[in-house]
Structure 1
Amino acid sequence: MKRRQLLQASASLLGSLAVGGQRGGAQTAPSPGGSLEFTSQSLQLTWLHHSCVLFEGEGKRFLVNPFRPGGCTAGYPAPRVAADLVLLSSRLLDEGALDVVPGNPKVLFQPGDYVIDGIRVQGVRMPRGPRFGLNVGWRWRMAGIDIVHLGGALQPIGREQSILLARPDLLLVPVGGGPKNYDPEAAKAAIEVLQPKLVIPTMYRTAAAEASQCELQPLAAFLRLFPAAAVQPALSNPLLLSAQALPSQGIAILFFEE
């Protein structure tokens, strides 16, 4: 497919995601007929900053990478959100602070193949080197959408990771660089290998960071690597996604403004 056609496919998705969205409410991707509706096959995604996201669908709540405010997350509120399952990419405080989560949810933090409440969850080993140890990338399917969250990935996508993580509907990828995450160029390379339909960047520098304790780059350094037609801010938080609204071709970038 020609480059123009790829951009048109991405722009088509971004236009559909903008329909019916207002800040402060749930932005809803339309069904093929154009009507706006929340069904059991809708995925609600709530952006809780950094790489922390709450996914709700099929009557279940999965929380990924709760953090303790400090350093690059100093100005964010702790994500004190109830969940049925908590997925941790590591036990570092910016992506594995289990103590901020209320209740007694199930918790996964090691690579493996699990079935949790009828949903298959795969934890994929992604080494980060001796300083920061192991990162776990997570894959599962919820409300008809195949989700991959790369946590704090640093190393290029290898053959094993590619087999286990390729071609998701939705990919969450760190983009801010620093000593333990992809920088913008490495994040783009991982996207090109994994070929998702929709990308949400994570772990970038914002005004919430303590200036002396955050080595991340701003989001703009990542976004400028992509054509403007493929990039759009989310118009609401939480966000409703529908599998039917995802692009059949091309890659779209959707980001949350901080």
Structure 2
Amino acid sequence: MPTAAKIELLDALSGTGVRRIEAVSFVHPKAIPQMADADQVWAQVRKSPAVRYSALVPNSRGAQRALAAGFTEVEVVVSASDTHNKRNVNRSTGESLDDIAALIDELHGAGASAEVIIATSFGCPFEGDVDPKRVADIVDRVVADGADRIAFGDTTGMATPRRVTEVVTLVRERQPDIPVLLHFHNTRGTALANILTAMDLGITEFDASVGGLGGCPYAPGATGNVATEEVVHMLADMGIDTGIDLDALIEAAALAQRVVGRELPSGVLRAGPRTRLAS
């Protein structure tokens, strides 16, 4: 996606009523060339005072770039699966947890918050099922190290309502006070069901991507995140006011689709909201 298009899309999303946007990722351009223009993008985005912007970083060097750019909310990732973690950052999960402990201190020292994303929380494409106790143990470790909040990543869409219940229930029993959000990919069509299940368990914040964009270069078969407009559409029909303008969100999804030059997987983008009647 061209730099100018990324800026246009971020500006469009900032005007939809969403209150938090992961704007850029400060990774090495050799690892993910698509993110090589992160500094340029962030410098030119029109920052809305109504939106909290965050950045994803893989290591201390990325954190330094994020802090230099002015970010006060930063996300770091570790995989519950050793195999996926090694494919992703060439380190074991334990080694990454040691790195993250130091990274949290670095971020806090600069006045920024640290969100730890635990990838493959519900299953790994290389190892299969991930024991919820392993996920909870990782949560215990990063909370002890000072994480400000935790995100559970369903990296390749292996989560189901049952597995969401198992992980969230166990973590809540052990760490009732840490803020939690969930990050679902819709690879197997279970993302909305997983969100409803998590809401019943008290979770109120979810990652989503406009149009269903996304994926993971180190996870075979991974598709995009659950589409933001599909989540908002469902919640609106349930009488839940997210404060997000669905029509503006669909327009942003259409913009994303034009920019990437292929049909995106969002059903709401394709068919429109259920209130849109045929002429």
TM more than 0.5? no
Give the TM-score range, shorter chain: 0.3 to 0.5
Larger radius of gyration: 2
Return the structure number with greater strand share. Answer: 1
Higher relative contact order (CA 8 A, sep 6+): 1
Q: Which has the higher helix share?
A: 2
The TM-score with structure 2 as length reference comes to 0.39
